[in-house]
Amino acid sequence: MADEIIHFVEIIIGVFLVAVFGMIFGLLTKGIDRKLAAHMQWRVGPPVIQPFLDVKKLFCKENVVPRNAVAWLYNVAPIVCLTSVIAILLYIPMGSIPPILKGYGDVILILYLLTIPSLAMVAGGFASGSPFATVGAQREMVLMMSYEFPLATTIIALGWKISTLYPGEAAFSLTTFTKYPVWNIMGPFGIIGAIILLVVMILVTTGEITKVPFDIAEAETEIAEGVFVEYSGRNLGLFYLADAVKTVVMASLIVALFFPYNLSTYLGSSIHLPSIAWNAIDFLFYLLKLEIVIFFSMTFIRVSVARFKVDQVVKVYWGYLTLAALIALVLIALDILL
């Protein structure tokens, strides 16, 4: 009984630490992203701590609920959005630190959990009673339905390869993905397919975190912030935090699927350090990988490309990226057969 209580307390502490990490590093990443984007456009840009100041200001402001809003749904939506992305982060390893929650099929569970933040935004938009928010919610639904198929195809293709080579392993567990890095198990055709899937995942990430060119649901110049047009104060701050954590989640997912390497695995035998020191080094290396992934999936793309139209977003995801993911799936199938 005592052991169960201790284990429960450890899980609670772990959840708290993961949530704090996700929010702090997510806000820091947003600040770095804005600073890098500004320099790439020959601007000075805001300070790196600006997202922290924005959140502080939002939580100090009055929380206004529109007269025509469905108040309970309007207030619950941002809470559901934030808690769902934090829940996803609990399933993702951070360097050599294992996830708090894990098990067979956790990657499939993550695919389902990734839809909840978008659904919460849609529900909040419709509940606000604003026509601008309604249009934004409709666009968010279109975006969500567009990127789900290439995302699922990527997971299935990689999981299929692992299940073929290691039938005794839990193929759709992130722990298994990190145990057998994709670049170590692929042949020539599989390597090409994996590169294609990596590009697909980077572009899916841009859509998942609704950044330019896929920020059609929040288009300021068209629908005045869309889904969030009526949100203010604490509720808008919760959505802002959810966006920051989701950026960390999507980047961590790419790292776990494609770059799960740890320095301790390659240097641990030659450099003797305490295990806690290697955990810290691997965690810092994990943060570096996150920043590199975020730069290419968010900063570089939004600086280089203008916002797409709604029909262009559907064409990119259901047309080009879905086709690319299916081609990669075929290449990995050839790799398995040969």
Listed range (72-86, 163-177, 314-328) with the worst mean pLDDT? 163-177
pLDDT surpasses 80 at 7: no
Which is higher by pLDDT, 70 or 55?
A: 55
CA atoms of 283 and 302, how far apart (whole Å): 27
Of 288, 321, 123, 128, nearest to 207 by C-alpha is 321
pTM reported for the whole predicted model? 0.92
CA atoms of 110 and 249, how far apart (whole Å): 10
What is the pLDDT confidence band of residue 252, given thresholds at 50, 70 and 90?
very high
pLDDT of residue 307: 75
What's the pLDDT tens digit per position in 30-69? 999 999 989 888 888 889 999 999 999 998 988 888 888 8
User: In the numeric block, which tokens belong to residue 223?
Assistant: 């629908």
Identify the bridge partners of residue 94 per DSSP, sorted by sequence position.
Answer: 97
Query: What φ, ψ does residue 145 adopt, rounded to 5°?
Result: -70, -25
Of 209, 210, 182, nearest to 197 by C-alpha is 182
C-alpha angle 24-25-29 in degrees, rounded to nearest 5: 120
Listed range (17-21, 222-226, 250-254, 321-325) with the worst mean pLDDT? 222-226
One-letter amino acid at 242 equals A
The answer to whether residues 34 and 45 touch, using CB atoms and an 8 Å cutoff, is yes
pLDDT surpasses 80 at 103: no
What's the rounded mean pLDDT across residues 23-33?
Answer: 94
**Quick one: what percent of the chain has pLDDT higher than 90?**
35
Give the other-Cβ count within 10 Å of 314's Cβ.
16
Residue carrying structure tokens 């899980």: 11
One-letter amino acid at 298 equals M
Contacts of 249 by beta carbon, 8 Å cutoff, 6+ apart:
22, 85, 88, 89, 92, 114
What is the pLDDT confidence band of residue 222, given thresholds at 50, 70 and 90?
low
DSSP structural state of residue 214: S
pLDDT of residue 272: 79
pLDDT of residue 108: 87
What is the pLDDT confidence band of residue 305, given thresholds at 50, 70 and 90?
confident
What's the rounded mean pLDDT across residues 190-205?
Answer: 93
pLDDT of residue 263: 87
pLDDT surpasses 70 at 225: no
Residue carrying structure tokens 């899937």: 197
Estimate the crossing angle of helix 188-208 against helix 131-165, to 10 degrees: 160
Ramachandran sector of residue 228 (left: φ over 0; alpha: ψ -120 to 50; beta: rest): alpha
What's the pLDDT tens digit per position in 146-178? 888 899 899 988 988 888 888 877 778 888 888
Contacts of 262 by beta carbon, 8 Å cutoff, 6+ apart:
95, 96, 282, 285, 286
pLDDT surpasses 90 at 100: no
pLDDT surpasses 90 at 104: no
The answer to whether residues 254 and 293 touch, using CB atoms and an 8 Å cutoff, is yes
Of 109, 236, 227, nearest to 173 by C-alpha is 109
What's the pLDDT tens digit per position in 270-302? 777 888 888 899 999 999 999 999 999 888 888
Please give the full DSSP string across 266-303, using - where no structure is assigned. HHTTTS---HHHHHHHHHHHHHHHHHHHHIIIIIHHHH
Q: Coil, strand, or helix at residue 90?
A: coil
pLDDT of residue 258: 94
DSSP structural state of residue 97: B
